[in-house]
Chain A
Amino acid sequence: MNESQTSASRTLQQLYLTLFLRGRSARGLKKGKAPKSVAGKLWGTLAMYGLVGLLALTFLSQTSFILSFYLHGMSLLFLGMFIASSAGEILFNKDEAEILLHRPVEPRTLLWAKVSVLTRISLWLALAFNITGLIIGSVGKYGTWLFLPVHLASTCLAALFCSGSVVLLYQLCLRWFGRERLDNLMTGAQVLLAVGMMAASQMVPIVMRTMGPTTISLSEKWWIFLLPPAWFAGFDEVFTGRGTPSSWALAAIGIAVTAGVLALAFGRLAASYEEGLQNLAESRPAKPRDPAQRRLLDRLMDAPPLSWALRDAIVRASFRLTAAYLLRDRDVKLRVYPGLAPMLVMPAVFLVQGATGTSGDIGIAFAGGYLGLIPLMAMNLLQFSQNWQAADLYRLAPVPGPAPFIRGAIRAVAVVLVLPALILAAVVVCVLPNGPASAVMLLPGLIAMPVYALVPGAIEKTVPLSKPAEEAKSATRGAVMFVLMITALAVPGLAIGAKMIGFFWVFLLVEALLAAAICLAMSSAISRKAWDPLE
Chain B
Amino acid sequence: MISLQNLTKRFGLQTAVNGLTLDIPAGQIVGLLGPNGAGKSTTLKMLTGLLAPTSGTATICGHDLLTHPMEVKRNVGFVPDSGAVFESLSGLEYLEMVAALYGIPAEAARERIRQFIAFFDLSFETLTDKLLGAYSKGMRRKVVITAALLHNPPVVFFDEPLDGLDANAAVGFKALIQTLAREGKAIVYSSHILDVVERVCDRVIIIDQGVIKVDGPPAELVAQHDARSLEQLFTHLTGGDDLERKAADFAKTFRP
Contacts and interface: CB of A to CB of B under 8 A. Distances in A.
A binds B: yes
Residue of B76, B80, B85 with most partner-chain A CB within 10 A: B80
Interface string B72-116: 011010101010111111100100011011110000000000000
A31 B90 contact: yes
A98 B133 contact: no
A61 interface: no
A98 B49 contact: no
B11 A284 contact: yes
B45 to A, nearest CB: 6
Contact of A29 (B51, B88, B102): B88
Contact of B78 (A10, A27, A95, A102): A102
Contact of A95 (B14, B84, B100): B84
A264 interface: no
B216 to A, nearest CB: 28
Interface in A82-101: 95-101
A14 to B, nearest CB: 8
Given A19-B86, A282-B11, A102 B70 contact: no
Contact of B101 (A11, A18, A22): A11
12 contacts: A14-B97, A19-B86, A22-B131, A24-B86, A27-B133, A29-B133, A30-B131, A31-B129, A31-B130, A102-B49, A284-B11, A285-B37
Given A27-B133, A104-B102, A284-B11, A98 B50 contact: yes
B58 to A, nearest CB: 14
B244 to A, nearest CB: 29
Interface residues of A, number: 40
B86 A104 contact: no
Residue of B12, B84, B88, B132 with most partner-chain A CB within 10 A: B88
Contacts of A8: 100-101, 103
B194 interface: no
Given A8-B101, A11-B97, A101-B50, A26 B14 contact: no
Given A4-B103, A25-B88, A29-B131, A103 B50 contact: no
A30 B131 CA distance: 7
A429 to B, nearest CB: 43
A18 B88 contact: yes
A136 to B, nearest CB: 40
A240 interface: no
A101 B85 CA distance: 12
Contacts of B70: 104, 106
B133 A278 contact: no
Contacts of A97: 50
B74 A104 contact: yes
A18 B89 contact: yes
Interface in B1-39: 11-12, 14, 16, 37
A39 B212 CA distance: 56
A409 to B, nearest CB: 26
Contacts of A278: 50-52
B100 A7 contact: yes
Given A4-B103, A103-B73, A104-B101, A23 B88 contact: yes
Contacts, number: 99
Nearest to B49: A102
Contact of B85 (A11, A12, A99, A103): A99
B132 A26 contact: yes
Interface in A45-104: 95-104
Contacts of B191: none
Nearest to A30: B131
B171 interface: no
A26 B134 contact: yes
Contact of A98 (B73, B80, B88): B80
B57 interface: no
A345 to B, nearest CB: 34
A18 B93 CA distance: 10
Contacts of A98: 50, 80, 82, 84
A187 B37 CA distance: 29
B48 interface: yes
A15 interface: yes
B140 to A, nearest CB: 12
A511 interface: no
Given A101-B49, A102-B50, A104-B74, A285 B11 contact: yes
A50 B51 CA distance: 45
A102 B86 contact: no
Contacts of B90: 31
4 closest cross-chain pairs (CB), A and B: A26-B133, A26-B88, A22-B88, A102-B48
Contact of A26 (B37, B98, B129, B131): B131
A30 B129 CA distance: 8
A104 B82 contact: no
A25 B12 contact: no
Contacts of A282: 11, 51
A102 B78 CA distance: 7
Nearest to B80: A98
